[in-house]
Amino acid sequence: MQSRTVRFRQVDVFTSVPFKGNPLAVVFDADDLSADAMQAIARWTNLSETTFLLRPTDPAADYRVRIFTTSRELPFAGHPTLGTAHALLESGYTPKQPGRLVQQCGVGLVPIVERDTGAWAFAAPPARIRPLDDAQLQRLDAAFGRGVIDFTAPPCAVDNGVPWLVVRLNAAAGVLALAPDRNAMTALIADITTLGLAAYGPHIATDAGGAAPATFELRALLYGAENAEDPVTGSANAALACLLSVQNRRPGRSFTVRQGTVIGRDGRVFIDYDHDGTDARTWIGGHTVTIVDGTFRL
C-alpha cells in the first residue's frame, strides 16, 4: 500500500513552559484511518493520549476528534481537548465564532473558549456522581492509611466521559506524600469501575505569608492497564470541579490546581464557574505549547 504523509504536532498541555505539562500527539487529516490504525499509531507514540482530527459530522462543530490511549479509545479527555484545539488553531484554522471552538467527540459537542490570558478552556461535560458504599470506604481508608482522607467531603466516583475516584485529603502535603497500597487500590478501582484515583488536597499559605502555589494539589494515579501517574489531567480536574459544586465546597468562583509535582512536572489548571457568562458551566483551562511540528508517515 502506498504511504502518505499528514500534518502532525506534539504539544505540551497545561503549561506555558516546555516539558512541564502533559504531552499529546495530534494527527491531522485522519478521516480515512480505521479505528485499528488509530489505535496502532497511539500505541506507537506511547503517550497517554493521541488524537486524530477529522471533518465534523455535526454542522455546529468546528472539528471532530477521536481520542486514543495506548490501549483504548476514550469518548472524552481534558488535556487532549485543549491540546487538539491548540494544534488546530496554530495550523491556521479560523473558528466559526471568534474566540470560541466547538469540538465534536464521543460525549457530543464540547465548547472551548479563549480566556483573557490567552489560555483556552473547555466546558466540562455533565458528570454522573456515585458515592462509595461503606465497604468500599473502609477498603479505601485501609489502602491510604488511617487518618489521611478528609471524609467531610465523601469520596465519590465521578464520570464525565472518563471515570475517576475523587478523594479529598487533609492537605496538599499529604497528596504529595501519598503512597496507597497498589494491590488494594487496583482491586478497588476495578470494583468501582473507574480509570484511576484523583486525590487532591488544599495548599496552605506559610506562616511567613508566602503565597501558596495553587488552591489545590492533585495527583491522578492510574491502575490496571496504564498503571502509572498521569502528569496533568483535564478530566480529573473537571471531575473535581463538579464534585466541589455538588458538595458545596467551592473555594470561590475560580481557583487553580497544581499537578505533576511528584514526577517532575509543573502543570497548572485554571477552573472557572460560568466563565463566559452565557450559562452555568464549569470551565477547565490552561496553556499549551508546541514541542514538535512536522509530518507523520502513514
Question: Residue 105 has what pLDDT?
Answer: 97
Q: Are residues 85 and 157 in the same domain?
A: no
Q: Residue 2: which pLDDT band, with cuts at 50, 70 and 90? A: low
DSSP-H helix ranges across the chain: 35-45, 78-90, 134-144, 172-177, 182-192, 234-246
298 pLDDT above the threshold of 90: no
Q: What is the dihedral of CA 259, 261, 265, 270, to 10 degrees?
A: 30
* Per-residue pLDDT, 224: 78
Q: How many domains does the chain have?
A: 2
> Do 186 and 240 have their domain in common?
yes
What's the CATH code of the domain at 213? 3.10.310.10
Instruction: Give yes or no: residues 179 and 206 share one domain.
Output: yes
Do 77 and 149 share a domain, yes or no? no
Q: What is the mean pLDDT of residues 59-71?
A: 96
Question: Is 44 in a helix, a strand, or coil?
Answer: helix
Name the DSSP letter for residue 253: S
Backbone angles phi, psi at 21, to 5 degrees: -110, -140
What's the chain's average pLDDT?
94
In this structure, the answer to whether residues 96 and 31 fall within a common structural domain is yes
Residues 133 and 271 in one domain: yes
Tell me: do 178 and 105 sit in the same domain: no
Whether the Cβ atoms of residue 53 and residue 84 lie closer than 8 Å to each other: yes
- Indicate if 275 and 132 belong to the same structural domain: yes
Active site residues: 49
72 and 136 housed in the same domain:
no
pLDDT of 55 strictly over 90: yes
pLDDT of residue 204: 84
Q: What pLDDT, on a 0 to 100 scale, did the predictor assign at position 237?
A: 97
**Total Cβ atoms within 10 A of residue 2:** 4
pLDDT, tens digit (0-9, with 9 covering 90-100), for 15-35: 999 999 999 999 999 999 999
pLDDT, residue 278, reads 52
Q: Both 87 and 43 in a single domain?
A: yes
- Whether 207 shows a pLDDT value over 60: the answer reads no
Q: Tell me: do 151 and 261 sit in the same domain.
A: yes
Q: Which domain holds residue 221?
A: 128-280
Question: What is the rounded distance in angstroms from the CA atom of residue 105 to the CA atom of residue 147?
Answer: 40
pLDDT tens-place string over residues 71-117? 999 999 999 999 999 999 999 999 999 999 999 999 999 999 999 88
Q: What is the pLDDT of residues 115-159, one digit of tens each?
A: 988 899 999 998 999 999 999 999 999 999 989 999 999 999 999
Same domain, 97 and 144: no
Please, where are the H alpha helices in 16-144? Answer: 35-45, 78-90, 134-144
pLDDT band per the 50, 70, 90 thresholds, residue 281: confident
Taking 70 as the threshold, does the pLDDT of residue 256 lie above it? yes
Q: How many C-beta atoms lie closer than 10 Å to residue 107's C-beta?
A: 16
pLDDT at 250 (0 to 100): 95
